[in-house]
């Protein structure tokens, strides 16, 4: 499957995704050099894990939802065990996707080449400049990362990324939840490794306009703030959250 090249493992985060996960697994397995595909079923209430396994993925299960960062770590831990137990060729890099990307997996193939060649330690899919839609959470993440590293990423919460194993080890353990996407960028940047942003016309991250959606965004901001604070942005990170009035204050800001 890997055409003689050292493989890249694909890690797919999936929650309540039984309708998309099989297509995601099959599309990821068809990418050049990708092997194996590991799905972390993050506490799904449906049959996500069974559909993923039937499509040929190695499946790791969380009994309850633990978020993106914990799912990636669980999948990579399982990969390490499999490589040792089965004496598999060690994957040199990790392609990180979500099951929601089922129809666009092939679009993320450009993330692989710079990491495989060593030109970058981490690649991340960002939307075209004229399609950027930066909300409060993204803005807080961009500002915090800039203050900590001097670099301003365009899409710090984009989950579609590829990184080599050394970069992943340097970024581990990831901050919890959505904070893990931010902490990864900070740690890899601080290590002096190359991060490359690639324009890929990916779907915008959508959240419901109702109270549940507003609460989800409030949780995202809290997780990002904690990640920034843990990596040194104590005053700015805490002030961002406090000045918003905590969870209740953030919910009011998202009523538009």
Sheet containing 93-98: give its strands across: 58-62, 34-42, 8-14, 93-98, 161-164, 122-126, 195-199
Task: Give the mean pLDDT of 77-94.
Answer: 95
- Tokens read off for 216: 């989800």
The pLDDT tens digits for 207-230 are 544 445 466 788 899 999 999 999
Task: Give the mean pLDDT of 238-254.
Answer: 49
What is the average pLDDT value for the chain, to the nearest integer? 87
Angle at 136 between CA 142 and CA 222, to 5 degrees: 85
Confidence of residue 132 (pLDDT cuts 50, 70, 90): low
**pLDDT at 256 exceeding the cut of 50:** no
Q: List, in sequence order, every residue forming a beta bridge with 126; answer none if it has no partner.
A: 199
What are the angstrom distances between the C-alpha of 167 and each of 16, 95, 171, 253? 29, 12, 6, 36
Q: What is the reported pLDDT for 250?
A: 43
Is the model more confident about 210 or about 98? 98
Strands (E), the chain: 8-14, 34-42, 58-62, 93-98, 122-126, 161-164, 195-199
Are 146 and 152 spatial neighbours (Cβ–Cβ below 8 Å)? Answer: yes
């Amino acid at each position: 499957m890997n055409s003689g090249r050292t493989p890249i493992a694909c890690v797919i985060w999936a929650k309540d995704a039984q309708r998309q996960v099989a297509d995601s697994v099959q599309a990821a397995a068809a990418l050049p050099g990708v092997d194996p595909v590991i799905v972390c079923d993050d506490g799904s209430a449906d049959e996500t894990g069974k559909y993923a396994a039937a499509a040929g993925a190695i499946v790791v299960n969380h009994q309850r939802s633990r978020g993106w960062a914990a799912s990636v770590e669980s999948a990579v831990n399982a990969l390490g065990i499999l490589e040792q137990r089965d004496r598999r060729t060690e994957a040199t890099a990790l392609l990180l996707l979500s099951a929601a990307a089922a129809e666009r997996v092939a679009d993320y193939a450009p993330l692989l080449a710079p990491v495989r060649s060593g030109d970058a330690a981490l690649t991340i899919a960002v939307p075209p400049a004229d399609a950027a839609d930066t909300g409060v959470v993204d803005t807080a993440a961009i500002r915090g990362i800039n203050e900590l590293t001097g670099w301003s990423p365009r899409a710090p919460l984009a989950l579609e990324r590829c990184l080599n194993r050394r970069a992943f080890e340097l970024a581990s353990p990831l901050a919890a939840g959505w904070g893990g996407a931010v902490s990864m960028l900070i740690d890899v940047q601080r290590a002096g490794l190359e991060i490359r942003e690639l324009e890929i016309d990916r779907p915008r991250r959508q959240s419901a306009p109702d109270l549940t959606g507003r609460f989800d965004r409030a949780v995202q901001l809290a997780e990002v703030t904690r990640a920034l604070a843990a990596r040194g942005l104590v005053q700015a990170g805490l002030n961002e959250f406090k000045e918003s009035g905590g969870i209740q204050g953030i919910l009011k800001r998202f009523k538009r």
